[in-house]
Structure 1
Amino acid sequence: MFKNIFNEEDRGQVGIGTLIVFIAMVLVAAIAAGVLVNTAGFLQATAEDAGQQSVNKVTNRVEVLNTHGVVGNESNIQGINMTVRLAAGSSSVDMNETSIKYLSSKTVQTLTNQTTTDGDGTNEVADADEFGLTMVTDDDGSFGVLNSMNDRYEVTLDTADIETGNDGADINNGLTTGEQVTLEITSRTGGTTQVILTMPQQLAGKEVDDPVEL
């Protein structure tokens, strides 16, 4: 029924045009694949960076353990002291690159730690736009950097200077009794700790420089 015809002299031929089209298709496919691979790699790297930054904003921050005020006169608080450490799950936090936003009913100010250490774990006193830092405990002597859960620093704010906007303010300035202040401590990576403090309603019996619980 079927007849097979073989002719050894017949040969299939591919023209040069067909060959060019074939090579062009292979090249286009290779280029497209390369673009897709590069794009996928870029998106993956970007997603990883964004994820890490988001984690850092949540975890890389400090925890305020306790606070107290310093009496200026019978109705004012001239300073605030806070003891801080690393928050749970946080990596190291450099206090030299940390800022504190100070907000009271009359003043808003961003404080930085730009003072230099004197070699014994303290720095120059706080002023109108800088906070002071004092070592309480430090495992490895890396003053200024919280890198262990055992590290403790005391942060000092001069509210008398901050409220007047200049250095050398007297003790009659500062936060008045009953006044509230909000502090936002933000690390270099964006991790933020908010503290809301209310000054005592009265300071009867307290003398200048006495500590008072906040």
Structure 2
Amino acid sequence: MFDTENWPTDRGQVGIGTLIVFIAMVLVAAIAAGVLINTAGFLQTKSEQTGEESSAQVTDRVNVVSTYGDVGNDETVETVNLTVMKSSGAGDINLSTATVEWLGPDQGTILTNGSDADEEHFTVDAIKDVDDTLPVLVKQEDRFRISIDSAALSDNGLGLDEGDDFTIKVVTSSGAVTYEHSVPQTLSGEQAVEL
């Protein structure tokens, strides 16, 4: 049998102290776990948002299919026309909120969408608009024309001369695309030229 007379009598107090320490450790661990879970959730949400924004900056852009200029009687390019479509994988692109940065041989300026092309505005017309959504590029098949009055943006008021270089940057809400162009060396007898 067991000899119960020689057992220590203070063992219960040690057990209660250990239990209090154990409960305190569990509470601290639970609080720390809650903070870690909240932080992980916040970081996951932030990384998803950053990933979507980065993807939009890469894909939600316009693609310039072609650029041509209308030649006036004075043998200068009076209007620059960009045929644009949305890039592969892009979402809807609203050209009414876009800006066009013009850096010509005479001056640089930022143009916004307007009803008439002039020294402050560009226009958007439909070439092919599948769902009649102008000025929003919705379908991959949509083709819109951005027209810029290069005569209004030149110092002489006539337009771009033979051999002039200029840069156009189309800026949408997701990003920008830049195109550099040159006027051909001769415009004699031409009504329109590829730029």
TM-based fold match above 0.5? yes
Instruction: Compute the TM-score of the two structures, normalised by the length of structure 2.
Output: 0.86
**Counterpart mapping for 1:1-214 below 5 A:** 4-6=2-4, 12-14=11-13, 19-113=19-113, 115=114, 124-164=115-155, 172-190=157-175, 192-206=176-190, 210-214=191-195
Q: Letter of the 2:128 partner, please give it.
A: T
Matched residue type, 2:12? Q
Query: Structure 2 counterpart of 1:146, which letter?
Result: L
Following TM superposition, by how much is the alpha carbon of 1:88 offset from its aligned partner in structure 2, in angstroms?
1.5
**Identical counterparts, % of pairs:** 37
CA distance in 2, matches of 1:162, 1:5: 109
Shift of 1:193: 2.1
Please, what TM-score do these two structures have when normalized by structure 1?
Answer: 0.79
Following superposition, the deviation at residue 84 of structure 1 comes to 0.8
Amino acid of the structure 2 residue aligned with 1:195: Y
Q: What SS does the corresponding residue of 2:141 show, helix, strand or coil?
A: coil
Q: 1:160, 1:24 → 2: CA distance? A: 79
- Contact 2:106 / 2:153 at 8 angstroms: preserved in 1? no
The answer to whether the 8 Å contact 2:96/2:136 transfers is yes
* Partner Cα distance (2:88, 2:60) in 1: 9
* Alpha-carbon offset, residue 57 of structure 1: 1.1
SS of the residue corresponding to residue 12 of structure 2 reads coil
Structure 1: runs of 5 or more not aligned = 116-123, 165-169
Count of aligned residue pairs for this structure pair: 193
Offset, 1:133: 0.6
Provide runs of 4+ in structure 1 moved above 4 Å: 6-12, 14-20
C-alpha distance in structure 1 between counterparts of 2:108 and 2:29, whole Å? 60
Instruction: Tell me how far apart the structure 1 counterparts of residues 45 and 161 of structure 2 sit (CA, whole Å).
Output: 51
Residues 14 and 152 (structure 1), Cα distance of their counterparts in 2 relative to 1, 3 Å cut? farther
Change (3 A) 1:195 1:9: closer
The higher-RCO structure (CA 8 Å, 6+ apart) is: 1
**SS state of the match for residue 132, structure 1?**
strand
Counterpart of 2:72 in 1: which secondary structure?
strand
State the one-letter code of the partner of 1:155: I
1:84, 1:153 within 8 Å by CA — same for their partners in 2?
yes
